Each structure stands twice: as C-alpha cells, then as structure tokens.
Amino acid sequence: MTKSNIKKIYHNFIHTFPLLFLFFLAFTGFDLSFFLFENNYSFNFIYAVIFYWVLKKPERLGYGLIFLAGIINDVVQNFPIGISSINYLLLCSIAAFIRARTLMPNLLYDWILFLVGILIISSVNYTILTLVFDYPIKYGTLMFGSFITFLIYPLMSKLFDRITLIDLREENAN
C-alpha cells in the first residue's frame, strides 16, 4: 500500500468519523457501565455524538442515517423498534433549533442545553416505554444515566473539536 493510499484512507476515516462512530455504538450497544451504591449506571455516548455533530456539523451526520442507527440500537438493546429513532430525531430537532437560535457558540451554553435536551428525550422515552409498551424500566436509572451522559459531554465535545480541526486541516491540505 502506497503512502498516498494510506493518507486517503486516513482522510476518509476522519471525514466519516461521526458516522462510523455512531454506527459502531449502535451495532455494539457499547457503553461504559459502572456500579454505584449497588446500582448499575452507564453513559449514553450516542446522545453526545448526535447532539454535537448536528449542532456543529450537520452535513456530516444525515438524519436518515441517524434514524437507521436508532433502528439498529433498538434491535440490539431489545427495545420496541422505532423508539430510539424517535429519541435521536427529537434530539436532532433540539440541536437544530439551538443551532438556528445561536449566534455565538459556547461550550457552557451547549452543555446546559444538552442536559435540557436529554432530559426531554429521556422523559419521552420513559413515557412511551412504560405507558404504551408496559416496558419495565427504572426511572431513577434512566435519569441518572442521562445525568452522567451530561457530565461527560464537555470531554466528548473537546475530543470531537479536535477531530473537526484535523478534518479541516486535511481538507485544506487537499
């Protein structure tokens, strides 16, 4: 493999990173779970990925693909098919709304609105699962998981900022 080919693969990887990462998370159901006070909690990385990329670079993450990732996530996690798609698309709409209303982007502002966004979609998720599907789910676990996801957002945002920068640099170099 020549050097230019490796560079091309690297460039494509960086360019499609949000998409690859989203589908990787959806297909593997990857989360970092941990025990606290005898309860199991985990981060929901997908929320952070969708919120960040729809807010900052919506052209990198198509809504249709987010819908598809939701379907995959439902199958893997054994949820009623379509529920995650609704959650993700609602989060997209919140991010798109914030994008349309924001003139000066700022991490703290995004972070707080991310909390509002995930609390709304977690509530929608809980309501549909319990009222419509009679799905046994603990409200406390769900909300605490959302709160933990909120805490890691700045870290993920910084990481994605770096990736966006690398991508921009690669694009300018070509």
Partner 1 sequence: MASDAGRDDFIIAIRSAFLKKGTRQKFSLFTLLIISILVLSLEYFKSGPIHTFRSVTKDIIFKGSFFISEPFVFIKNNYYNFKEHIKMYEDYNYLKNKNYSLDSLKNENQFYKSENIRLKKLLDEENIYSNEFLLSKVLLDQQSPYLKSVIINKGFNHGIKLGVAVKEKSYFVGKIINVNFLTSRILLASDLNSKIPVIIEPNGINAILSGQGHDNYAALEFLPKLKKIKEGDIVYTSGVDGIIPQAIPIGKVFSVDEKLFVEFFVDFNQLKYVKINK
134: contact with partner 1 by CB under 8 A: no
- For 148-170, what is the HEC assignment? HHHHHHHHHHHHHHHHHHHHHHH
- Binding to partner 1 by residue 12, rule CB under 8 A? no
C-alpha distances (whole Å) from 58 to each of 2, 109, 118 are: 33, 18, 18
Task: State which residue, 41 or 51, has the beta carbon closest to partner 1.
Answer: 41
Residues that bind partner 1 (rule: CB under 8 A) add up to a total of 50
- Please identify, among the stretches 64-72, 103-111, 116-124, 155-163, the one whose residues bind partner 1 according to the rule CB under 8 A: 64-72
From the CB of 84, what's the least distance to partner 1, in Å? Answer: 9
Q: Which of residues 91-130 bind partner 1 (CB under 8 A)?
A: 92-94, 96-97, 99-101, 128
28 lines the binding site for partner 1 (CB under 8 A): yes
**In this structure, are residues 46 and 57 in contact, taking their beta carbons and an 8 Å threshold?**
no
Determine which residue in the list 46, 55, 72, 121 makes contact with partner 1, applying CB under 8 A: 72
Sign (positive or negative) of CA dihedral 155, 141, 91, 117: negative
List, as one string, the DSSP characters of 50-83: HHHHHHH-GGGS-HHHHHHHHHHHHHHHTPPTTH
Q: Which is nearer to partner 1, 116 or 137 (CB)?
A: 137
By beta-carbon proximity to partner 1, the closer residue of 137 and 155 is: 137
Cβ nearer to partner 1, comparing 7 with 171: 171
Identify whether the C-beta of residue 117 lies closer than 8 Å to the C-beta of residue 91.
Answer: yes
CA neighbours closer than 13 Å in the CB half-sphere of residue 126: 16
Distance CA 149, CA 102 (A): 23
- Contacts to partner 1 by CB under 8 A: 24, 27-29, 31, 33, 35, 38-42, 58-59, 62-64, 66-67, 70-72, 75-78, 80-83, 85-86, 89-90, 92-94, 96-97, 99-101, 128, 133, 136-138, 141-142, 145
